[in-house]
Amino acid sequence: MTEPTSHQPSDSIGRIELSNLKLQDYEALLQAMKAAYPDWPGGFWTLATMKRLIDKFPEGQFVIKADGKVVGSALAIIVQYSHFGDSHTYKQITDNYTFDTHDPNGDVLYGVDVFIHPDYRGLRLGRRLYDARKDLCERLNLKAIVFGGRIPNYHKFVDEMSPRDYIRKVKLREIYDPVLTFQLANDFHVKKVLRAYMPEDEESQEFACLLQWDNVYYESKHRTVTGRKDYARVGLIQWQMRSYSGLDEMFEQIEYFIDAVSAYKSDFALLPELFNAPLLASYNHLSEAMAMRELAEYTSEIVDRFHKMAMSYNVNIITGSMPELVDGTLYNVGYICHRGGNTERYVKLHITPDETKFWGIKGGDIIRTFDTDAGRIGVLICYDV
């Protein structure tokens, strides 16, 4: 699994979808695999193998699509880990790639494969796949996620250091490894070094790191299989008003907070009402009403930037409110930019007397709810509450 930072996400992507893998996705999946592993000396997963895996454990196979195109996948099985222990090979844990080791009553989610098409790295799609695995591990009440992680840059240092020293330097960020660096950033820890884990992996010199993520919610005597999360994490952004020279400078500040909220794996990032008000400073020579209408000219581009940021940082962004001019009428509106790519609008209903007096803002007349990947939500602004 690699997710290097040298590639920039495409601004043309309109929608990202995460779902369970279907057999009809295979041909597109194969092309993404070949692009992700251009120098892989072994073979690729066959249609028959994928059918066997999906038949055995459909909810454990994830695929991620950008505008309908398969660009990545995560495959897994459940094993009774005590049957294998920490010293095993990839061939053993998969029973010679048949996945007959899959045990619905097992206690560990074992990662079989994860990859992202190189043209789509930089969008944190790998993190989405890993978050989906973690959610599955929690829902199925499994102890941990375990797998053998490649160290594909080790061949460059094999004459200089042992695998142990290499791992230590990667942890200290003295060496970058496209797989291990990514795994460590996603809260996995190295349990041990595996020898001859995957003999065809020449880049890793046949070594692998046994990596593990522990499910802190695991209950040894209670098994819960529910369809969705029963909680949501919301990042509330306390916004200090400061002067900005323009949109670019304002979004530097916004991105700082979105990045922090995303790092805490929040489902939502919430900005305040009229967060873009400092941009009014450019229109001090105008009346309050005219200045607010000039500010409304920014709204379309602001929403477009939030839309891209929501997908890139894998967090649903509730944009806070902005003025928006519709057919000559000024409204106080906000948007929900879903991390999957769609965008929905909400309008402030109850306008304060000063909003009407100084800016000429009119209230909306529809209250609604919104379905998100973390549950159904409603959004109200200020006086609406």
pLDDT in tens, 319-348: 989 999 998 999 999 999 999 888 999 999
| Assessment of whether the complete model's pTM goes beyond 0.85 | no
pLDDT greater at residue 220 or residue 163: 163
- Contact in structure between 18 and 39 (CB atoms under 8 Å): no
CA 51 – CA 116 distance, rounded (Å): 21
Phi, psi of 213 (to 5 degrees): -120, 125
Average of pLDDT values for 248-268?
91
Residue 262 lies in a domain: yes
Return the sign of the alpha-carbon dihedral for residues 214, 261, 14, 231.
Answer: positive
pLDDT confidence tier of residue 7, bands split at 50, 70 and 90: very low
Annotated catalytic residue: which of 59, 203, 273, 294?
A: 273
Q: Does 290 share its domain with 377?
A: yes
Residue 10 lies in a domain: no
Predicted pLDDT at 138: 95
Mean pLDDT estimate for the chain: 89
Average of pLDDT values for 23-44?
88
- How buried is 338 (Cβ within 10 angstroms: 0-12 exposed, 13-18 middle, 19+ buried)? buried
Predicted pLDDT at 5: 41
Predicted pLDDT at 245: 85
Residue 344 lies in a domain: yes
Whether 192 is catalytic is no
Domain boundary among 179, 214, 249: 214
Whether 382 is catalytic is yes
CA 150 – CA 139 distance, rounded (Å): 27
Q: Does 297 share its domain with 177?
A: no
Q: Does 247 share its domain with 199?
A: no
Predicted pLDDT at 199: 84
Domain housing 280: 234-384
Whether 209 is catalytic is no
Q: Does 71 share its domain with 191?
A: yes
CATH assignment at residue 186? 3.40.630.30
Tell how strand 316-326 and strand 268-270 pair up. parallel
Residue 226 lies in a domain: no
Q: What is the pLDDT of residues 61-95, one digit of tens each?
A: 999 999 999 999 999 999 999 889 999 999 999 99
Predicted pLDDT at 59: 96
CA 12 – CA 14 distance, rounded (Å): 6
CATH assignment at residue 366? 3.60.110.10
Annotated catalytic residue: which of 56, 65, 308, 348?
A: 348
Predicted pLDDT at 221: 54
- Percent share of the chain, pLDDT over 90: 67
Whether the per-residue pLDDT at 11 is higher than 70: the answer is no
Whether the per-residue pLDDT at 228 is higher than 90: the answer is no
Average of pLDDT values for 258-286?
91
AA letter at 22: K
Q: Does 162 share its domain with 239?
A: no
Q: What is the pLDDT of residues 192-213, one digit of tens each?
A: 999 999 888 888 888 999 999 9
Beta bridge partners of 116: 72
Q: How many domains does the chain have?
A: 2
CA nearest to 178, candidates 91, 263, 115: 115
Annotated catalytic residue: which of 59, 69, 362, 382?
A: 382
Average of pLDDT values for 270-291?
91
Residue 261 lies in a domain: yes
Residue 222 lies in a domain: no
Residue 6 lies in a domain: no
- Contact in structure between 151 and 29 (CB atoms under 8 Å): no
- Contact in structure between 229 and 173 (CB atoms under 8 Å): no
Predicted pLDDT at 239: 81
Whether the per-residue pLDDT at 10 is higher than 70: the answer is no
Q: Does 238 share its domain with 165?
A: no
Q: Does 113 share its domain with 262?
A: no
Q: Does 28 share its domain with 81?
A: yes
CA nearest to 319, candidates 340, 285, 344: 344
